[in-house]
Amino acid sequence: MKDAFLRNKWAVAALWALGALYACALFADFLAPYSFKDEARGLSYCPPTAIHIIHEGRLRSPFVYGMKLTFNEYRQRIYVTDRAKVYPVKFFSSRLFLVDAPGRLYLLGADSRGRDVFSRIIYGARVSLTIGLIGVLISFALGLLVGGIAGYYGGRIDNVLMRLCEVLMMAPGFYLLLALRAAVPDNFNSVQVYFAIVIILSVIGWAGLARVVRGMCLSLRERDYVLAAKTFGLSDVQIIIRHILPHTVAYSIAAVMLSIPGYILGESALSLIGLGIQDPYASWGNMLSDAMSIVRIKFAPWILWPAFFIFISVVCFNVIGDALRDALDPMLKREANV
C-alpha cells in the first residue's frame, strides 16, 4: 500500500503541501509578523509591501519604505511610497520577520481594518484546517460504531439505525447546517462557536460512512473467524471492535480523507455569511466576507487570497483521498476474497 501511494507523485506533492500548511498553522505565533487582531486603520486595504535591498544606490539589508495614503485626481484612494522613511526588516526576533512601528510589512496586502492578510491567513489555518480533522474524527467514530452495530445485529436494530441515517442524508446538507447553527445560542464566544460548528458538521457527516460500513459488516459477520470468536465466548462488543471494524478501516481511511474538504467548505460557508467564527478571530471563511463586494475586489484583489488557500487545501485532500483509495483497492479485494 505504501509503495503504491508513494508512486503517485501528485499525492506526495499534495501531502507535502498539506504538511506545510499545518506546520504554518502550528507555528503561527512565530511565522506571522503580526497578531490576527493587530490593526492599522490608517492603512485600510493597503497593497502588498515591496521589500527592497537597494537604497539611494547602495546595497543594504532588506527593508521596506513607508506607505502614505492620498487621493488621485479622481478622488480615489491610493497609496504612495514614502522613500524618506526606511524600516529595516528584522529576522528571528520575537517573530520570524517584522519591522518596527510605525512601519508595516504587508506581504499579501491589508484588509479593511489594516490587518495583515498574510498573518490572518496563517492564524486562520488553525481554524479552517483543524475543524476538518476534529470533525472527521467524531464522524469517523460515529459512522464505524453505528454501521458496525447495524451490520452485525441486522433485523430491527439495522432498520432503525439505517432509517435514521437516511433521514440525515435526505435533508439538504447546507440547509440542515443552517438549521442546526440557528440552535446555537447567540451569546457564544468564538471558541464556543468553533466547537459548536465541529459538532454540527460531525452530526451531518457520519451517516454516509455508517451505511457503507454497515454493508461491509453484513458480509464480515458471516466469516469463519467471526463464527470462531463466537464459539470461544467473546461478547458481541469484542467481536465488533476486534474482528469486524478493523476490516473496514481500509475503506474508512480513504472515505475520511475525501470527506475532510466538506468540513472545510462547511465552516467557510458559515463564516462567510456571518454565522461561523467571528471577528477579530480569523478563519479563511470569515476573511472572505470582505470579498463579497465587486468594488472591493476590483480595488483590493488581494482579499481573495483566503479563497486560494481553501482551494489548495480542498484539492490536496481530494488528491490524497483518491490515491489512498487506489492504493487500498487491492487490499479491499483481497479481504473480500478471504
What's the whole-number mean pLDDT along residues 161-176?
Answer: 80
Same domain, yes or no, for 154 and 56? no
277 and 184 inside one domain = yes
Residue 135 main-chain phi, psi, to 5 deg: -60, -40
**Residues 144, 286 within the same domain:** yes
Only one residue has cell 483543524, namely 130
Query: What pLDDT digit, counting tens, does each position of 64-94 carry?
Result: 998 888 887 777 788 888 888 889 999 988 8
Same domain, 91 and 123: no
For the cut 50, the answer to whether the pLDDT of residue 32 exceeds it is yes
> For residue 154, is it left (φ>0), alpha (ψ between -120 and 50) or beta?
left
- Indicate the range of 2-6, 38-42, 115-119 predicted with least confidence: 2-6
Round to whole Å and give the CA distance between 113 and 111: 5
Answer whether residue 154 is part of any domain: yes
Which of 37, 66, 99 represents a domain boundary (last residue)?
Answer: 99
225 occurs within a structural domain: yes
What domain count does the chain have?
2
Q: Which residue has the higher pLDDT, 302 or 277?
A: 302
Residues 210 and 244 in one domain: yes
Please give the share of the chain, as a percent, with pLDDT higher than 70. Answer: 95
In a domain? residue 326 = yes
**DSSP per-residue codes, 234-257:** --HHHHIIIIIGGGGHHHHHHHHH
Q: What are phi and psi of 144, to 5 degrees?
A: -65, -45
* CB of 210 closer than 8 Å to CB of 147: yes
pLDDT tens digit string along 199-232? 887 877 788 888 888 888 888 888 888 888 888 8
The confidence score (pLDDT) of residue 336 equals 45
Find out whether 42 and 69 touch, Cβ atoms under 8 Å: yes
CA angle 260, 252, 135 (to 5 degrees): 35
Residue 50, burial from CB neighbour count under 10 angstroms (0-12, 13-18, 19+): exposed
Angle among Cα 188, 116, 41 to the nearest 5 degrees reads 85
**Inside any domain, residue 107:** no
The verdict on 122 and 229 lying in the same domain is: yes
Q: Is 22 a member of any domain?
A: no
Q: What is the domain range of residue 77?
A: 49-99
In a domain, 9, yes or no: no
Considering only the C-alpha atoms of the chain, give the largest distance between any 2 of them, rounded to a whole number of Å.
89
Q: Which three cell numbers stand for residue 195?
A: 466547537
Q: What is the pLDDT of residues 278-298, one digit of tens each?
A: 888 888 988 888 888 787 888
Residue 260: inside a domain: yes
CATH number, domain with residue 288: 1.10.3720.10
pTM of the model: 0.83
| 328 and 201 share one domain | yes
Average pLDDT over residues 25-52: 90
Phi, psi of 61 (to 5 degrees): -65, 160
pLDDT, tens digit, for every residue of 89-117? 999 888 889 898 888 999 999 998 889 99
Q: 286 and 323 share a domain?
A: yes
**Grid coordinates standing for 37?**
487582531
Examine the domain organization and report whether 190 and 66 are in the same domain.
no
pLDDT of residue 80: 87
Residue 125 lies in a domain: yes
Q: Using CA atoms, how far apart are residues 192 and 23, in angstroms rounded to an integer?
A: 24
Instruction: Return d(Cα 44, Cα 31) in angstroms, integer.
Output: 22
Alpha-carbon distance values, 255 to 52, 157, 220, 280 (Å): 47, 24, 19, 34
